[in-house]
Amino acid sequence: MARDQIAAGPGIYGVLVDAIGAGAIGSVMALPHATAKLGPDRMVAAGTLGTVLALVLFGLAHDTPTALVASLLAGAARIVVLSSLNVSAQVALPEWVRARGLAIFMTVYFGAHTAGSALWGQVAAVWGLPLAHFIAAAGALLAIPVTWRWHLQTGANIDLTPSLHWAAPVVSHEIEDDRGPVLVTVEYRIDPANRRPFLAALDRLGRERRRDGAHRWGVFEDTADPSRFVETFLVDSWLEHLRQHERVTNADRVLQTQVQSFQLEGTPKVTHMIAAERA
């Protein structure tokens, strides 16, 4: 754009790149107040609208002042959207898995950034730079209503601190940390009339089990006794199961209490089994 649309040299190109950084720094100053007032969803929408306006100005820019305004706006809009998405990813994850989750988030974000760069570069090569900017602006504008039903920072009101309410497993002898896999079973006795809501609640609990390290999770019902259900899941090792005890959050505790409320009497019976060592 600096070379072809504005017919400027590398000096102006450097100024435009600096303006993107200056716009990002400037928006950081007002970000906390604006986020508190608008909320994360509206902030991302505002940042996307800012990106749309910047793209249109880039497409129309045939002079340095227009391109400079577009660059400042693009830098500010980008940091608004990125910071809002980043915070939403952080508050949605428990502490023990937060770094891993953020790594996945950043990989997806910058992977899409790279793929998008190649895509729009090809569009610009075929149809010209201004039209590429206008098409990208239309796509960004369309993204607002398309993605509006997915809200950000929904995990901010969920208590993801460790609850540490699981009782320590009962063992008859010392078990090496790397032994496994471990089979955990939980036996429930419920009123058959509550079968459907019980299984729905248990399915939500199953997602929590898998998030904390379980695999091959399932539910079985007794063919001879309609009130007896057994939840099962595997964990790779004994140490991994002990870590599960540390990963359960207060929000998970509420979910488990909902499942256990279907229990007719007492508490569900929990059994720990480990793969037998064969000669």
Closest CA to 166 of 34, 103, 97, 256: 256
| pLDDT tens figures, 202-250 | 999 999 999 898 999 999 999 999 999 999 999 999 999 999 998 999 9
Same domain, 115 and 153: yes
Is 175 inside any structural domain? Answer: no
Q: Is the model's pLDDT at 4 over the cut of 90?
A: no
Please give the helix or strand (H or E) that residue 257 lies within, else none.
Answer: helix 250-260
> Domain total for the chain?
2
Same domain, 135 and 207: no
Residue 246 belongs to a domain with what CATH number? 3.30.70.100
Is 176 inside any structural domain? Answer: no
Q: Is residue 52 classed as helix, strand or coil in its secondary structure?
A: helix
Is residue 244 within 8 A of residue 260, CB to CB? The reply is no
Is 95 inside any structural domain? Answer: yes
134 falls in which pLDDT band (50, 70, 90)? very high
Closest CA to 90 of 162, 158, 153, 159: 153
Same domain, 151 and 189: no
Same domain, 140 and 62: yes
- As a whole number, the mean pLDDT across the chain is 92
Please give the helix or strand (H or E) that residue 39 lies within, else none.
Answer: none
Same domain, 147 and 203: no
Same domain, 50 and 152: yes
Is 172 inside any structural domain? Answer: no
pTM: 0.74
Residue 96, amino acid:
W
Same domain, 192 and 252: yes
| Residues spanned by the domain of 248 | 182-274
Q: Whole-angstrom Cα distance, residue 128 to residue 259?
A: 59
End-to-end alpha-carbon separation of the chain, Å? Answer: 72
Whether the link from the prior residue into 181 is cis, omega within 30° of 0, is: yes
Residue 49 belongs to a domain with what CATH number? 1.20.1250.20
